[in-house]
Amino acid sequence: ECKRLLRLIGVPVVEATSEAEAQCAARCKAGKVYAVASEDMDSLTFGAPKFLRHLMDPSSRKVPVMEFEISKEMNLDMDQFIDLCILSGCDYFIGGLTALKVIHRHGSIENIVENIKRQRCFLCSYLIPDNWPYSEARLLFKESVASTEEQPEIKWTAANEEGLISFLVNENGFNIDRVTKVWLFSSVMCWSVAYWRNFLLFF
């Protein structure tokens, strides 16, 4: 019903074939959208070049996190950042700070595992399962289904006012006066945003 509502007001909907964050990151990397807005940091691990948090929170400042800033602030390349996220993956892993420390020291999960086996790592007390599928986890981020798909252009359409009112009032029991009032206000606001956008683009 959410997808139907969005389409009725003219908002395009893209259905992810796998993880939603992977789909959003792929579209951002392809230049189809400006940024990924999410509370899920996996968006960065999937390679989103621009990432926004707290987009719907009016009290917070929307600061984009970009890939080059990860490299600068954490001194990690993208492969190392993915390994960091795998090591930080759940409550039963070693935790973010420890993971960052060992990635800085050894560079990759393979090197960490090798140094643990050779008793050359401060994590020597940890037991590593023989079938730990970290390589497969890495590929899920680097070669997601969405990353290999063609990313079509997003097309905004005119709102279907009659269909929208029928959907909200007749099918879902909303008050028609309230729906009409909110829709009229929204229409005016959308026109104003479009007007100022075109005004600024003129210059």
> What is the predicted pLDDT for the residue at 196?
35
* Residue 96 predicted with pLDDT over 90: no
| Confidence at residue 151, expressed as pLDDT on a 0 to 100 scale | 77
1 neighbors 153 (Cβ within 8 angstroms): no
HSE of 115, CA atoms in CB hemisphere, 13 A: 14
Tell me the percentage of the chain whose pLDDT exceeds 90: 21
* pTM for the full predicted model: 0.73
What pLDDT does residue 57 have? 74
CA distance 50 to 56: 17
Query: Is residue 90 scored above 90 in pLDDT?
Result: no
Q: Please give the single-letter amino acid code of residue 193.
A: V
Alpha-carbon span 177 to 154, nearest angstrom: 32
DSSP line for 92-139: TS--HHHHHHHHHHHSSHHHHHHHHHTT-STTTTSPPPTT--HHHHHH
Task: Quote the strand ranges of 30-79, DSSP E.
Answer: 36-37, 50-52, 65-66
Question: 101 CB contacts (<8 Å, ≥6 apart)?
Answer: none
Q: How many CB atoms lie within 10 A of CB 72?
A: 10
Q: What is the mean pLDDT of residues 22-47?
A: 90
How do residues 132-189 score in pLDDT, each as one tens digit? 889 999 999 988 877 677 877 888 888 888 888 888 888 988 888 887 877 765 665 5
For the purposes of burial, counting CB atoms within 10 Å of the CB of 92, is it exposed (0-12), middle (13-18) or buried (19 or more)? exposed
- What number is the average pLDDT over the span 195-200? 37
* Average pLDDT taken over every residue of the chain: 80
